Amino acid sequence: NGVKWTQPLGQFINNEYVSSSGTDTIPTINPVTEEEICAPQAATQEDVNKAVKAARAAFHAPSWKRITGTERAVFLNKLADLIEEHKEVLATIETVDTGRPYLQNLHLSISIATALFRYYAGWADKIHGQTMDCGPDKLAYTIKTPVGVVGQIIPWNVNMPSFCAKIAPALACGNTIVLKLAEAAPLVGLYMCQLIKQAGFPPGVINVLNGSGRDIGTAIASHMDIDKISFTGSTATGKEILRLAASNLKSVTLETGGKSPAVIFDDADLDNAVLWTHIGIMTNAGQICYGNSRIFVQEGIYANFLEKFRGQVEKVSVLGDPWEQTTFQGPQVSRVQYERVLEFIQSGKDEGAKVYMGGQPVSLDGKGFFVEPTVFTDVKPHMNIYREEIFGPCVVIVPFHTEKEVLEMANDTIYG
Amino acid sequence: MALTTELKTPITGPFQQPIGLFINNEWVESIDKKTIEVINPTTEEVICSVAEATEKDVDIAVAAARKAFEGEWRTTTPQQRGIYMFKLTELVEKNKELLAAVESLDNGKSISMARGDVGAVIGCLRYYAGWADKIEGKTIDINPETFTYTRHEPIGVCAQIIPWNFPLLMLAWKIAPALATGNTVVLKTAEQTPLSGLVFANLIKEAGFPAGVLNIISGLGRVAGAALSSHMDVDKIAFTGSTPVGRTIMKAAAASNLKKVTLELGGKSPNVVFDDADIEQAISWVNFGIYFNHGQCCCAGSRIYVQEGIYDKFVEAFKKRAQANSVGDPFDENTFQGPQVSQLQYDRIMGYIDEGKKEGAKLETGGGRHGDKGYFIQPTIFSDVTHDMKIMQEEIFGPVCTIAKFSTEEEVIHLGNNSSYGLAAAVHTQDLNTAIRVSNALRAGTVWVNSYNLLSHQMPFGGYKESGIGRELGEAALANYTQNKSVSIRLGGAVF
In this complex, do A122 and B133 lie within 8 Å of one another by their Cβ atoms?
Answer: yes
* B-interface mutation test, from A126, A134, A144, most B Cβ less than 10 A away: A126
Of B130, B440, B458, the CB nearest to A122: B130
CB contact under 8 A, A125 and B86: no
CA distance readout (Å), B496 to B142, B146, B492, B493: 20, 16, 12, 9
Q: Of B389, B444, B397, B403, whose CA–CA distance to B422 is shortest? A: B444
Inter-chain contact B130–A136, Cβ cutoff 8 Å? no
Nearest to B131 among A122, A128, A139 (CB): A122
The CATH number, out of the four listed (3.90.850.10, 3.40.605.10, 3.10.310.30, 3.30.70.920), of the domain defined by the range A11-255: 3.40.605.10
The predicted pLDDT at position B338 comes to 97
Check pLDDT > 90 for residue A322.
Answer: yes
Q: Which of A121, A136, A139 lies at the smallest CB-CB distance from B130?
A: A121
Residue B494: its pLDDT value, please? Answer: 79
Q: What pLDDT, on the 0 to 100 scale, is given for residue B496?
A: 79
Beta strands across the sheet bearing A354-357: A261-264, A294-298, A394-400, A374-377, A354-357
Q: What is the pLDDT of residues A194-234, one digit of tens each?
A: 999 999 999 999 999 999 999 999 999 999 999 999 999 99
Residues of B in contact with A136 (CB under 8 A): 440
Contact B448, B425 (CB under 8 A): yes
Interchain CB distance below 8 Å, B130 and A128 = no
CATH architecture of A261-410: 3-Layer(aba) Sandwich (3.40)
B133 contact residues in A (CB cutoff 8 A): 119, 122
Q: What is the mean pLDDT of each run of 10 residues along chain B (496 residues)?
A: 93 96 98 97 98 98 98 97 98 98 98 98 98 97 94 98 98 98 98 98 98 98 98 98 97 97 98 98 98 97 98 97 97 97 98 97 97 97 94 97 97 97 98 97 98 97 97 98 97 82
Q: Which residue of A has its CA nearest to B122?
A: A70
Question: Which of A67, A68, A70, A137 to probe by mutation at the B interface, max B CB count within 10 Å?
Answer: A70
Question: Which parts of A181-333 fold into alpha helices (H)?
Answer: 187-198, 218-222, 235-245, 270-282, 299-316
Interface contact flag, A77 B129, Cβ < 8 Å: no
Q: Is A261-410 the same fold as A11-255? A: no
pLDDT in tens, A363-390: 999 999 999 999 999 999 999 999 999 9
The whole-number pLDDT of residue A33 equals 97
What pLDDT is attached to residue B1?
Answer: 78
What per-residue string of b and e applies to B32-70 under the rule 16 or more CB within 10 Å gives b?
eebbbebbbbbeeeebbbbbbbbbebbebbbbbbbbbbe
Q: Phi first, then psi: what are they for B252, rounded to 5°?
A: -65, -40
One-letter amino acid for residue A350 of the chain: D
Domains of chain B (ranges; CATH) run: 4-265+469-484 (3.40.605.10), 270-455 (3.40.309.10)
Per-residue confidence (pLDDT) for residue B492, from 0 to 100: 82
Q: CA of B436, closest CA in chain A: separation in Å?
A: 8
Segment A125-172, tens digit of pLDDT: 999 999 999 998 899 999 999 999 999 999 999 989 999 999 999 999
CA R_g for chain B: 24
Partners of A69 on chain B (C-beta within 8 Å) are 458
pLDDT at B495: 80
Q: With b meaning 16 or more CB within 10 Å and e meaning fewer, what string describes A62-101?
A: eebeeeebbebbbbbbbbbbbbeebbeebbbbbbbbbbbb
Q: Where are the domains of chain A?
A: 11-255, 261-410
List chain B residues with CB under 8 Å of A73: 126, 130
Out of A70, A124, A139, whose CB is closest to B123?
A70
User: How many residues belong to chain B?
Assistant: 496
CB–CB of B418/B441 below 8 Å? no
Whether B264 is a known active-site residue: answer: yes
Q: Say how many CB pairs under 8 Å bridge A and B.
A: 39
Q: Which one of B82, B123, B475 has the shortest CB-CB distance to A122?
A: B82
CA distance B289 to B453: 6
Find the residue in A nearest to B129 (Cα).
Answer: A122
Q: Which of the four pLDDT bands, split at 50, 70 and 90, describes residue A63?
A: very high
Measured CA to CA, the distance from residue A321 to residue A364 in angstroms comes to: 8
Q: Report the b/e string of B355-387 with b at 16+ CB within 10 A.
A: bbeeeebeebbbbeebeeebbbbbbbbbbebee
Q: Which of A324, A328, A329 is nearest to A341 (CA)?
A: A329
Which of B88, B121, B126, B442 should we substitute to test contact with A (largest number of A Cβ atoms within 10 Å)? B126
Tell me the pLDDT band of A53, cut-offs 50, 70 and 90: very high
Which residues, in sequence order, are CB contacts of B166 under 8 Å at separation 6+?
B117, B293
Residue A377: what are its φ and ψ, rounded to 5°? -125, 180
Catalytic residue among B52, B103, B191, B264: B264
Q: Locate the chain B residue with the closest alpha carbon to A117.
A: B130
3-class SS of residue B271: strand
| Residues of A in Cβ contact (< 8 Å) with B129 | 122
Return mean pLDDT, chain A. 97
Interface of A with B (CB under 8 A): 69-70, 73, 77, 115, 118-119, 121-126, 128, 136, 139
